[in-house]
Structure 1
């Protein structure tokens, strides 16, 4: 698709956003992928209620809300079924860097069909406080960023990890809720990022440096982020209404995003587990003046699985020069701070207003590709009086590569034909130092359960390299909540 045509489509979509009639409530951050994050981000009610056992399941507004009567019947009996499709298109409007025959100015499309099944076993069998949660996806398509040489941040977050199969198991776990929702214990096939370093607000955006979670959170291949899952468990306690403390243990499993081991997500091979990840997080969720909610969290994680050093071998020398394999390091770590805060309301409506987000993530510099990442975003919902659920978003992320990565790239570039490990890591064609991604979007509610979001993405120093030309993309994200 030509850039002129894409520009015209984007302008038409924007005009539709501004002048189309308002639809009923549905927002981009209330979807199947965000269900675990929503459960984390929901504070206790103002008054203590020990009758709360299984918290109510989330039911986003959908095209067929009752499922022709069948879903209403099931929900009254403790079974909640959701089905949705998210599609993400992105196309470059700038030409790629000259001198790379495989790079091109192109467009891509990626997406997923997701299913969620929640069962309240207290309601069905009298098992007080117990529920199970299952999420599956079927993913398709590709992502445009690799066409211009970027392998750090996907232009379409819904690309990859799903095995290119109709049904890929994301999560399947049981959850016990005790003491009026003040204690929650979960175990089974879990994704660490579904509970830690998480926020449902991230997927108001499409690019992979922001959507799902900031990319530095999943910098290590052992981290289980959507749609990957491992055996694990977590426990979360709420000593006070607006405060939670949580910790967990997750298997550090090799190849959780690869086709060989986890194409369908149903292959449970203990031989690929090489350690454990132990995260801890503390959160504060105030509601200022009873109308401005916020979420503040700090956390850290320790991992015992061996991870390759990005510069040195076992003797402490650059592995590029000695020809030996990189040293394997155990007991690596990461840490984070994240926050979002609603700053104002529109038209005296608590559900409409401006939200500010920011955060900082740090990884063990000796093994990381991204030593640290910071981000900032604004999300403004219902800015136009006649469009209460339309959402404007702007987000900026910055990623910094550690000195070890930069030194290894420099050594390989100066002697890549003679070095035993001459191929560049991380698909690099230059020295990887830092990278940034900007996204601006506007999500419009076209009809019940349907959202269309035209957007603009701008990649600064693709793949973290100064030798690659910045890239601009136009795109469109759609979400259809079917049931």
Structure 2
């Protein structure tokens, strides 16, 4: 645990130097006008996650066999009459926009070792974002097909991310970057779901994202940086893991033996190149020609409600993977490939495991919708094939800390990533043998460990509109000790249109 104390001592020293920036931001947030309801848990990308994290009703059942679709507060809540008309017929349409800006307030290191082999780093800023639309249809309400619903999401993404400007390729400063194909319309997911026995059994199949059902939480995107938003980055360490906005052919079964307990498993195709334009630029590539393995996740979740409305979510799980993954150290003959110059050994037996938890611990002003929630988790990957051997995270979300601002949210998160020993050994060998241009992961030195801190305050500006000033701090960018720490200021905005 020594490294945690080391990092937190650095955090407090750095915060004292930039407190003159944080205080004015906080005063601005406090003085904003009173508003009423939308929070960042309810973005369109979180719709599948919210279904996982919602226990069965304590009493009674659903209006239909299909669990109700979410209806977050929106700028145009009735959609000029259109969305109200559709919902009366079992059709829920949502449209939103998320924009993320980040700019470095610290300069990157100049003349870093072997810099001649890479593009020069710079101090700069970036903007990235996406517009998203979802269409959920309750076919029982529409045509009487009992328990059946369909879910689809499309996005369009734009912009770039600032972290690569100062040499970090591990964690995006703006999570809404990449994977969207740089097209106007990119299909994220489209699948059908059958709900049986009052919500106790759910069976789904189609184009699905594994990370929208497993090792995730709708609370993560109360932050902007990619080490936690979307999902903790170690969860998608393999290029075969399907995470928003990428999907694969898949099937999933979720069983709820009791109100607060669920068990789920699935089979997700390992499709080569799901994040690359040449394979899945639009998301509408449906043939299975690039399937070369499978992922089989299993997760058990407990969703208790303690005391005076203190909900929690605790989940533990693991995954097996048969998709071909290169060893990060050995070649086919069991020798270091950095020395033999051979090809890495291919593994077909990868695995991973995780534990995640969040718990609401305190209500503000006797309100069930305000208070403090703590998050924590640990993710472990197969160190033979992983870049990140493990990741640990902790976060605090305080909603309604000020009585006059019931839906403003203060957030603090810290993530730590440990690079796999095989990656470290390979990079050290390449540096010793002067193979500078062949270093993996855009490295310019040995990658060992990295950490990211974020502090933010989300202002509920108006109905369906959130503006979130934030600070990000990257310790050891790209996991390297030869690169200077980077601090960024920025903001995240979210507008729920319908």
Tell me, in whole angstroms, the C-alpha distance in 2 between the residues paired with 1:473 and 1:388: 28
The residue matched to 2:369 in structure 1 has which SS?
strand
Q: CA RMSD in A?
A: 1.5
Q: Is the 8 A contact 2:64 2:140 kept in 1?
A: no
Q: Indicate which of 30, 33, 40 corresponds to 1:18.
A: 30
Cα-to-partner distance string for 1:131-173 (whole Å, 9 max, x where unaligned): 1001000000000000000000000000000011111000100
> Deviation of residue 49 (structure 1)?
3.2
Residue matched to 2:480 = 465
Q: Indicate which of 82, 89, 110 corresponds to 2:94.
A: 82
Q: Is the 8 A contact 1:371 1:400 kept in 2?
A: yes
Change (3 A) 1:160 1:8: farther
The residue matched to 1:371 in structure 2 has which SS?
strand
Please state if 1:436 is matched with 2:419: no
Q: Indicate which of 207, 211, 231 corresponds to 2:249.
A: 231
Q: Is the 8 A contact 2:99 2:127 kept in 1?
A: yes
> Deviation of residue 15 (structure 1)?
3.0
Change (3 A) 1:8 1:447: farther
**Which ranges of 4 or more aligned residues in structure 1 deviate by more than 6 Å?**
6-11
Please state if 1:482 is matched with 2:497: yes
Q: Is the 8 A contact 1:136 1:171 kept in 2?
A: yes
Residue matched to 1:263 = 281
> Deviation of residue 8 (structure 1)?
9.6
Residue matched to 2:295 = 277
Please state if 1:202 is matched with 2:220: yes
Unaligned 5+ residue runs, structure 2? 1-17
Residue matched to 1:3 = none
- TM norm structure 1: 0.96
Residue matched to 2:232 = 214
The residue matched to 2:79 in structure 1 has which SS?
coil
The residue matched to 2:153 in structure 1 has which SS?
strand
Change (3 A) 1:389 1:200: same
> Deviation of residue 290 (structure 1)?
4.3
Change (3 A) 1:384 1:7: closer
Tell me, in whole angstroms, the C-alpha distance in 1 between the residues paired with 2:187 and 2:354: 28
Q: Is the 8 A contact 2:64 2:141 kept in 1?
A: no
> Deviation of residue 20 (structure 1)?
1.2
Pairs aligned (count) = 475
The residue matched to 1:133 in structure 2 has which SS?
strand
- Larger fraction in helix: 2
Q: Is the 8 A contact 1:168 1:264 kept in 2?
A: yes
Tell me, in whole angstroms, the C-alpha distance in 2 between the residues paired with 1:225 and 1:22: 36
Change (3 A) 1:171 1:266: same
Tell me, in whole angstroms, the C-alpha distance in 2 between the residues paired with 1:68 and 1:7: 44
- Alignment map for 1:391-402 (pairs within 5 Å): 391-402=409-420
Tell me, in whole angstroms, the C-alpha distance in 1 between the residues paired with 2:344 and 2:88: 57
Residue matched to 2:80 = 68
Tell me, in whole angstroms, the C-alpha distance in 2 between the residues paired with 1:158 and 1:9: 25
- TM norm structure 2: 0.93
> Deviation of residue 201 (structure 1)?
0.1
> Deviation of residue 17 (structure 1)?
1.2
Unaligned 5+ residue runs, structure 1? 1-5
Residue matched to 2:319 = 301
Residue matched to 1:339 = 357
Q: Is the 8 A contact 1:416 1:423 kept in 2?
A: no
Tell me, in whole angstroms, the C-alpha distance in 2 between the residues paired with 1:78 and 1:416: 63
Q: Indicate which of 39, 42, 50 corresponds to 1:38.
A: 50
Tell me, in whole angstroms, the C-alpha distance in 2 between the residues paired with 1:141 and 1:127: 42
> Deviation of residue 45 (structure 1)?
1.2
Cα-to-partner distance string for 1:295-331 (whole Å, 9 max, x where unaligned): 0000000000110000000111000111110000011
Tell me, in whole angstroms, the C-alpha distance in 2 between the residues paired with 1:117 and 1:290: 35
